[in-house]
Amino acid sequence: MSIHIVALGNEGDSFHQDSRPSGLIRTYLGRSPLVSGDEGSLLLSAASAVARPVFTEYQASAFGNVRLVVHDCPVWDIFDSDWYSSRNLIGGADIIVIKYNVNDKFSFHEVKDNYIPVIKRALNSVPVIIAAVGTRQNELPCTCPLCTSDRGSCVSTTEGIQLAKELGATYLELHSLDDFYIGKYFGGVLEYFMIQALNQKTSEKMKKRKMSNSFHGIRPPQLEQPEKMPVLKAEASHYNSDLHNLLFCCQCVDVVFYNPDLKEVVEAHKIVLCAVSHVFMLLFNVKSPADIQDSSIIRTAQDLFAINREAVFPGASPDSPGNPPLRVIVKDALFCSCLSDILRFIYSGAFQWEELEEDIRKKLKDSGDVSNVMEKVKCILKTPGKINCLRNCKTYQARKPLWFYSTSLKFFLNKPMLADVVFEIQGTTVPAHRAILVARCEVMAAMFNGNYMEAKSVLIPVYGVSKETFLSFLEYLYTDSCCPAGIFQAMCLLICAEMYQVSRLQHICELFIITQLQSMPSRELASMNLDIVDLLKKAKFHHSDCLSTWLLHFIATNYLIFSQKPEFQDLSVEERSFVEKHRWPSNLYLKQLAEYRKYIHSRKCRCLVM
């Protein structure tokens, strides 16, 4: 393999011909460590190169075994004398080097006016290097009238860059022909383009070889790509809106706030209030003062609220399950007048501070009263043992609601605190909170508020679901997230979600199963004990259409693995037909592959000597 470089232009200084160093090309070839060949073998004089007398020809070896041929033409008149040879050489060049001396404007204009138009006509994606050689002698010419002859005798950097832009070339300034400028600077750029040329020639050679091979014998079959798997779209979370709507539906109310005149103000739910506030935990005896150990929280609870534990409770239903709602008297009249807005703020996630302040300002005209109420809200939401970090409310606007913080609903999961319903599963009990279940699950909302036995009972049996699966289901209702231990548990949780019609949890389980199967390598798919056909049938039975369609495509895409398993025979006629139609690799490809292997085997067995 060889690389052809054409060098055009004169880099010598016409004013200092006697002291001029060796030319750019010859200096590079003599000093580059990548080029082999002694000084005498590099040069083939114009007399010996009869075929192309226009150029001085250099030959050497680069990168060990690559033949490097350089043709150098410093004078335009010689170049123009044999137009046919010059044009052919430029057309066959892999790299073109244009050089001139920065102190010789004649050499620059010769390049610009003569060589460049020829190169533009012949250029075909060939890299071009423009080398400006020498140090400018009159960089800053004198402005006096006696020195006008020296003005503009140097070629400026701007002129060189402009010339490079016209050709799309790489512009280099070589202040001297020493080891740095020649070996590292010019040599580095030239060697980069040499490597690019070698890569391109190698690629073209491989293409030609493939084309030549395609015309001899049987071509190897092309394996098509498998069909794209169906895309499952995740359902958006409605966790915050579910809890926010709980405030207005008036279901499962277990606390009622009154003003100092014992007039009812608003109904609420202990579990939601305690999830975001230690003040309410203390008020409803979820935690004791010793557990909280924060005097400001204790003082806030004592100053703002008082519990009325009288037996007579206005508006209570005598046949309602469990205890009647707790009556809480709000001592602060201003705070009580804004309590409905404050609870709406808490139920929406306790992070929309600007909206809360605006709602309070509409009711309380005095700015001092507004500030006083806002400070009380911050004290209610304070974390024990910490300085009130909610003083700058605007910094919390973009943060997540407080449901995701340490004092979240997960704290009450499977714990008897504030629980008003108990599920009996496999001989064990699981406490829960009706308010959360009603807010997050429509089936349970109908069950607890309709004419069903569960509406009046505290102990509710659950059948057809294991305790671990039901706890994972409750975890999703309380926290809006779940993490199954594996594909089997995810399928059990999907069945539970379908039983209680929680569609978003079904989608989460579907995505989990798909992600787990997609991440398995072929060897693990072949050896796993999971019955993929049984998984498909369960998905269909429980109306998980997205998962069942995806599993059919998954079986078809991994046909060679699943067709060897005994459960493959359990596919229905319709399912089997779908899998055979979309199987990968296809029957046609396997047939072509067998014919190609037979052909290759017959060629290898043929006696080459005979």
Tell me the CATH number of domain 250-309+323-401, given options 3.30.43, 3.30.360, 1.10.3470, 3.30.710.
3.30.710
Percentage with pLDDT > 90 across the chain: 37
Helix 353-363 vs helix 339-347: crossing angle, to nearest 10? 170
- What CATH number is given for 2-139+152-208 in this structure? 3.40.50.300
pLDDT digits (tens, 9 = 90+) for 187-235: 888 888 888 888 888 888 887 776 655 545 567 888 888 888 888 877 8
pLDDT digits (tens, 9 = 90+) for 19-62: 444 678 888 887 777 666 544 445 443 333 334 455 788 888 88
Rounded distance between C-alpha atoms, residue 454 and residue 500, angstroms: 14
The single residue listed with the structure tokens 């080097």 is 97
β-bridge partners, 62: 35, 66
Which DSSP string corresponds to 71-88?
Answer: EEE--HHHHHHTHHHHHH
DSSP H or E run through 372: helix 367-380
β-bridge partners, 60: 68
| 227-241, 264-278, 286-300, range with the lowest pLDDT | 227-241
Which candidate, 581, 574, 518, 521, places its Cα nearest to that of 551?
518
**pLDDT greater than 50 at residue 373:** yes
Rounded distance between C-alpha atoms, residue 314 and residue 453, angstroms: 26
Q: Summarize the confidence of residues 267-294 as an average pLDDT.
A: 91
What backbone torsions phi and psi does residue 307 show, to the nearest 5 degrees? -95, 130
DSSP H or E run through 96: strand 95-101
Tally of CA atoms within 13 A in the half-sphere of 372 that contains its CB:
14
pLDDT digits (tens, 9 = 90+) for 402-434: 444 334 788 899 999 999 999 999 999 999 999
Average pLDDT, the chain: 82
Q: Indicate the pairing of strand 95-101 with strand 2-8.
A: parallel
366: exposed, middle or buried (Cβ count in 10 Å: 0-12, 13-18, 19+)? exposed
State the span(s) of the chain assigned CATH 3.40.50.300: 2-139+152-208
What backbone torsions phi and psi does residue 173 show, to the nearest 5 degrees? -115, 120
State the span(s) of the chain assigned CATH 3.30.710: 250-309+323-401
Q: Summarize the confidence of residues 392-407 as an average pLDDT.
A: 45
Which pTM was predicted? 0.61
**pLDDT greater than 70 at residue 151:** no
User: For position 436, what pLDDT does the model report?
Assistant: 94
